[in-house]
Amino acid sequence: MFLEEIVDGKKKEIEELKERLGEREDREARQSPPVRSLVAALEKRASSPGLIAEVKPASPSKGDIRPDVDPVMTAREYEAGGAAAVSVLTEATYFKGSLTSLTQVKERVGLPILRKDFILDPLQLVESRLAGADAVLLIAALLSGEKMGTLVQEAHELGLEVLAEVHGEDELERTLAADPDVLGINNRNLHTFETDLSVTERLRNRIPAAIPVIGESGVHSRRDFQRLARAGVDGILVGEYLMRHASPREAAESLTTGVRA
């Protein structure tokens, strides 16, 4: 239900983008300066997984988390707390995010910025690049293998990196064939919202060593973080736990210090 509604809403947004984005914007996106590399940021942390810290004001499963959050201040605290990259939810209806907050975060933080949204069309990639995203999320549950392949190529032509997200074995082969830069294993099932850290443990070993892997969702403690680290991932994406903490910097630090794979 949630995914269907999201997709309907996004189709309307894409129609609006068709009106708004012309050749000039396309050219501008293609001429944007090089991105900050998420892949490079993860490689730097080879001894322990890098933290991808997320700005997530609300969610469909939890409702409001911190709807009045200051995205820039939060992201700066994540950076000070040792995060390797920042993820910004830009979906408005369920996550209370915005593309404007992504642009503001990009201007005030030195880390690679991932756009977390529901991307179905190349025009959303142009929009992402113009807004300052360095990497975008593509979700296998929403895209055929062919569509994923086209979007990855298009993203690369725009200079964007791609984090492709899977939840089950069935999505893995076609997603790897699309040649994304990073593979994300979402511990949360986007149909039922059920979260289970063993999803990362199960899928990790089915992914070739050549591609960086990120464990996503459901980390609510340093112990959970350590558990995913032991599963052998290169990065871990955390949202709600960091957002609920009074000090996002301390929360980030608690996950980035002294954790070993």
Shortest Cβ 61–ligand IGP spacing (Å): 9
Identity of the residue, 26 or 168, whose beta carbon is nearer to ligand IGP in the bound complex: 168
- DSSP H or E run through 87: strand 85-89
DSSP classification of residue 84: S
| Of positions 121, 171, 201, 240, contacts ligand IGP by CB under 6 A | 240
Shortest Cβ 238–ligand IGP spacing (Å): 5
| Of positions 109, 178, 237, 252, contacts ligand IGP by CB under 6 A | 237
At how many degrees (to 10) do helices 99-108 and 122-131 cross? 40
User: Is residue 217 close enough to count as binding ligand IGP by CB under 6 A?
Assistant: yes
Convert residues 24-43 into a mask of x (bound to ligand IGP by CB under 6 A) and - (unbound): --------------------
Q: CA of 30: how far to CAs of 18, 119, 179, in Å?
A: 17, 18, 20
Q: Give SS3 for 86.
A: strand
CA angle 167, 158, 207 (to 5 degrees): 30
| Of positions 77, 181, 216, 224, contacts ligand IGP by CB under 6 A | 216
Stretch that binds ligand IGP, among 9-17, 33-41, 69-77, 216-224 (CB under 6 A): 216-224
The DSSP code sequence of 144-202 is -HHHHHHHHHHHHHTT-EEEEEE-SHHHHHHHHHT--SEEEEESB-TTT--B-THHHHH
Stretch that binds ligand IGP, among 35-43, 126-134, 153-161, 231-239 (CB under 6 A): 231-239
Q: How many residues of this chain bind ligand IGP (CB under 6 A)?
A: 15
Identity of the residue, 180 or 239, whose beta carbon is nearer to ligand IGP in the bound complex: 239
Query: 48-107: which residues touch ligand IGP (CB under 6 A)?
Result: 54, 56
Shortest Cβ 219–ligand IGP spacing (Å): 6
Shortest Cβ 116–ligand IGP spacing (Å): 6
| Of positions 128, 186, 226, 254, contacts ligand IGP by CB under 6 A | 186
DSSP classification of residue 68: T
Convert residues 116-155 into a mask of x (bound to ligand IGP by CB under 6 A) and - (unbound): x----------------------x----------------
The tokens describing 6, both together, are 């999201």
Q: How many CB atoms lie within 10 A of CB 2?
A: 13
Q: How far apart are CA 156 and CA 78, in angstroms?
A: 27
Q: Which residues pair with 186 in a beta bridge?
A: 216
User: Is residue 10 close enough to count as binding ligand IGP by CB under 6 A?
Assistant: no
58 Cβ partners below 8 Å, 6+ apart? 64, 65, 67, 94, 95, 96
Cβ-closest position to ligand IGP: 239
Q: How far apart are CA 187 and CA 197, in angstroms?
A: 6
Contact residues for ligand IGP, defined by CB under 6 A: 54, 56, 116, 139, 165, 186, 216-219, 237-241
